[in-house]
């Protein structure tokens, strides 16, 4: 059933592809011509749409892409992306190795068992599979312990059918004010590279920097950087805002469905956690926690209409929320309000939401559900002031 004409009937996400291209160009300028840029487009491009994001980043100079799963990588291939794609997640099945070879996808190696499996499948097919080795320098997550990294790489080099194309690690606190943990991780990374010495594979691509490290420290750039959050227009930490003129690429809009006037003392929404303090004009907005608006923001957020702030009141429900429009007589049924993003001279950021409900911008952006259509926005460099969210 064709539904294109219904996509803006309730709530939706507008994705500014021009902003992603702009941000990629800024980051390219930051790293210079001799360093490659890998755009991280996992989790459906941080909620923006992976194919849309990848193509916009490519237009801005991205050289490669990173995803979390093989399915995400194959999905990008189906959308026409031909650039190198690195799977950051763990692959451990022979059919996954077959798929990597078929779709020209780069897997990550973290263990010798993985390496042996990749070698067995590739050798049987008479193929050569390029891989990137992940070093655990401080995340205690995926990756070979850094003390064993050089030995693993040297062992892989002795296996037919495998080519060590890259080696990388992931920084645990590059966005922190205190750089000590990042420096420790870099030292461990460098020690592995030094241990390889003359045995280092020719053309080895070394990559360590995430968005924060890309923005703040050229000494962490190596041969390639992996950029996620900054690609979408957000600095990884509040103290890093303004270093680059990044442009947010996402705006969440929703329509007003009903307006009603209620007396003072009226309980609003489930459990009546909020009561009106005066005769009030309320507006119901067609978006809720099933769409990705955190319920923890109940009575702690607001929306924007024509650049003006309207507070949200009562518990946010699965599909709807209520705003107080008493001081905004121009608001009408069918009006479009901005739930997140830019609206004329004002804006609401994912960092504000995160601070209000105890989480991070990444969580907010990735939390919007597939029920919200992703629509292409008209590119604009305008960013307004941000109201305070309690």
Catalytic residue among 183, 260, 270, 277: 270
Residues 153 and 166: their CA atoms lie apart, in Å, by: 10
| Bridge pairing between strands 144-145 and 108-109 | unpaired
Cα 192 to its chain centre, rounded Å, is 29
Separate counts of helices (H) and strands (E) for the chain: 11, 20
Cα 256 to its chain centre, rounded Å, is 29
- Neighbouring CB atoms inside 10 A of 328's CB total 17
- Listed in sequence order, the residues at least 6 apart from 111 whose beta carbon sits closer than 8 Å to its beta carbon are 144, 152
Active site residue 222: no
- Listed in sequence order, the residues at least 6 apart from 3 whose beta carbon sits closer than 8 Å to its beta carbon are none
Residues 76 and 10: their CA atoms lie apart, in Å, by: 28
The DSSP secondary-structure symbol of 116 reads H
Q: Is 38 annotated as a binding residue?
A: no
What φ, ψ does residue 191 adopt, rounded to 5°?
Answer: -65, -35
Supply the angle between the helices 70-78 and 50-59 in degrees, to the nearest 10: 70
Over 215-267, what HEC string results?
A: HHCHHHCCCEEEECHHHHCCCCCHHHCCCCCCCCCEEEEEEEEEEEEECCCCE
Active site residue 42: yes
- Listed in sequence order, the residues at least 6 apart from 101 whose beta carbon sits closer than 8 Å to its beta carbon are 121, 122, 125, 127, 129
- Nearest to residue 131, comparing CAs of 233, 36, 56, 204? 204
Residues 341 and 346: their CA atoms lie apart, in Å, by: 9
Catalytic residue among 42, 55, 168, 232: 42
Q: Is 28 annotated as a binding residue?
A: no
Residues 350 and 30: their CA atoms lie apart, in Å, by: 24
Residues 297 and 75: their CA atoms lie apart, in Å, by: 33
- Listed in sequence order, the residues at least 6 apart from 64 whose beta carbon sits closer than 8 Å to its beta carbon are 36, 37, 38, 39, 83, 84, 85, 86, 224
Show binding-site residues.
141, 318
Show binding-site residues for substrate.
141, 318
Active site residues: 42, 270
């Amino acid at each position: 059933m064709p539904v294109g004409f219904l996509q803006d009937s309730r709530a939706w996400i507008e994705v500014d592809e021009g902003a992603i291209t702009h941000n990629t160009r800024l980051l390219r300028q930051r790293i210079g011509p001799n360093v490659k840029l890998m755009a991280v487009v996992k989790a459906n491009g941080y909620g923006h749409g992976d194919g849309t994001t990848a193509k916009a980043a490519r237009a801005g100079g991205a050289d490669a892409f990173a995803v979390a799963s093989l399915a995400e990588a194959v999905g990008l291939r189906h959308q026409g992306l031909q650039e190198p794609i690195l799977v950051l997640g763990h692959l451990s099945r022979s059919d996954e190795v077959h798929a990597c070879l078929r779709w020209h996808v780069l897997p990550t190696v973290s263990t010798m068992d993985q390496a042996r499996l990749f070698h067995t499948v590739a050798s049987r097919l008479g193929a050569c599979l390029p891989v990137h080795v992940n070093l655990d320098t401080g995340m205690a997550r995926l990756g070979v312990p850094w003390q064993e990294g050089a030995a693993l790489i040297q062992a892989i080099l002795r296996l037919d059918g495998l080519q060590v194309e890259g080696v990388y690690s992931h920084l645990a606190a590059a966005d922190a004010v205190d750089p000590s943990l990042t420096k420790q991780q870099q030292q461990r990374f460098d020690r592995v590279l030094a241990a390889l010495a003359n045995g280092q594979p020719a053309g080895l691509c070394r990559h360590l920097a995430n968005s924060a490290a890309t923005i703040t420290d050229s000494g962490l750039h190596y041969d390639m950087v992996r950029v996620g959050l900054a690609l979408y227009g957000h600095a990884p930490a509040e103290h890093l805002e303004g270093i680059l003129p990044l442009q947010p690429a996402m705006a969440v809009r929703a329509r007003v469905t009903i307006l009603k006037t209620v007396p003072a003392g009226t309980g609003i929404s489930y459990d009546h956690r909020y009561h009106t303090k005066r005769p009030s004009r309320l507006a119901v907005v067609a978006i809720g926690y099933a769409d990705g608006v955190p319920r923890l923001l109940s009575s702690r957020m607001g929306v924007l209409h024509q650049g003006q702030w309207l507070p949200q009141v009562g518990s946010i429900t699965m599909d709807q929320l209520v705003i107080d429009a008493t001081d905004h007589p121009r608001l009408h049924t069918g009006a479009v309000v901005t739930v997140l993003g830019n609206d004329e001279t004002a804006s609401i950021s994912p960092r504000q939401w995160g601070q209000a409900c105890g989480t991070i911008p990444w969580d907010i952006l990735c939390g919007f559900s597939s029920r919200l259509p992703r629509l292409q926005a008209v590119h604009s460099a305008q960013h307004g002031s941000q109201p305070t969210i309690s």
